[in-house]
Amino acid sequence: MGMLSTIKRDDPELYKAIKKELKRQRESLEMIPSENFASRNVLLVAGTVLANKYSEGYPGRRYYGGNGNIDAIENLAIERAKKLFNVPHANVQPYSGSPANFAVYVALCNPGDAIMGLNLTDGGHLTHGWKASVTGKFFRSISYHVKEDGSIDIDEARRLALENKPKLIWIGATAYPMALPFGEFANIADECGAYLVADISHVAGLVAAGVHESPAKYAHIITTTTHKTLRGPRGAMIMVTEKGLAKDPELADKIDRAVFPGLQGGPHDHTTAAIATALLEASSQEFKEYAKQIVKNAETLANILSNRGIKLVSDGTANHLLLIDLTTFGTGLGVFAQEALDSAGIVVNKNTIPKEPSSPFYPSGIRIGTPAITTRRMKEKEMEEIAQIIAEVIMQVKDCKLPADTEGKKEYIKKFRKRLRNNLVIKEARKKTAELCAKFPLYPDMKL
């Protein structure tokens, strides 16, 4: 981070904000499942002169000159992705996960076509056809759901697919604590003739490490972000499988054309290079052990929280995240749990639960994950301590009652935040998390 010395001199206002953010990350337990800490090498590569180049097009087919080095870098990222995920084609240019998913629609669908995805409040993603997303407005979206035990309702999904004959079906989630049923959905897609797209953004690192089943032999297309369990920069990839090419030999070309020139201009070459770095790291034995520990840590958290009387969707986890159901205490308590845990130095996010009784703005659950704290090399012993802190903090919000009217909600939350500042249990919890963070320093050699 040597260049920050000049930022300190030339732009002290920005430097101060960056320094404060590093301090926040160092002194908090980052437990949002979709967040992680990129390696030092990923950060360094993302900040190189590669940010200076325009490279519209693909390797060997650019619209600008001077791209020989960029071609080599992009080809390196492509080959590493193909090898790591066992696919014949990879596009590493999407700017992020949502644009990557939309590129799949552009490649395969026309406006008004039927598509299927997991319902948002059941753990699905906005881009899988939710009504507030453009994907739910441009296409005829059919949502499948989870059952009482929190698992995806395969029978319902099959029935809906056979009734509606969707052009494509998504299998993927953002708040689903169980293994994704790729095989079952492959059968459904084959029955109705749909393309199956596996969005593995959350579990890509687990898939790469062999900790979660790969969708490569089941799906036609795989999409993923690169910054969650894969621990890379904030980018995305679209991969076409052998099954996809067997269904449509032109599928890879359709995907590439949808990304460019369909939706994007020049790729972010510095991000492409950082993706290549992350893919190399993800192919190591050390990363495989890391991914295994993510799941072990999540399982430990789940067991202890359950023993403390905290209700979990699916009664546990089979991956990197837990979804805590707070309806045992009341509805709409997710925002209070999030705020209280943040005050205690534990960063999580409020989240809807299956059959959400409140709303996405004031949901009844919180989502917790272990990728980032596992990156800090915390293990089961630390999970035991963290679980106890989380349980103690949740007990501080169980009696909150969210008013029905909007203004009443805002005023109640405002007063709640004031009470947090004087809560002795929260203060003690913050002290414990600070001590834990100090034992597992983040970027210890990074000097600002």
The catalytic position among 35, 56, 113, 392 is 56
Told to judge if 13 belongs to the known catalytic residues of this protein, a careful annotator would answer: no
Active site residue 155: no
Are 142 and 168 in contact, with CB atoms under 8 Å apart?
Answer: no
Angle (deg, nearest 10), helices 269-282 and 68-85? 30
List the catalytic residue out of 15, 27, 35, 54. 54
> Which position has the token pair 């990557």?
100
**Measuring CA to CA, how many Å separate 177 from each of 313, 325, 391?**
8, 12, 19
Q: Is 225 a catalytic residue?
A: yes
- 445 catalytic residue (yes or no): no
CA 269 – CA 53 distance, rounded (Å): 7
* Residue of 8, 147, 158, 234 marked active site: 234
195 is catalytic: no
Please tell me which residue in 127, 223, 224, 225 is annotated as part of the active site: 225
The CA-based angle 414-416-418, given to 5 degrees, is: 75
Is 184 a catalytic site residue? no
Distance CA 183, CA 282 (A): 24
Q: For residue 111, how many other CB atoms are within 10 A of its CB?
A: 9
Q: Which of 74, 122, 153, 199 is catalytic?
A: 199
| Active-site position among 80, 228, 350, 367 | 228
In residues, how long is the chain?
Answer: 448
CA distances from 271 to 8, 49, 352, 391 (A): 24, 11, 32, 39
Question: Which positions are annotated as active-site residues?
Answer: 54, 56, 199, 225, 228, 234
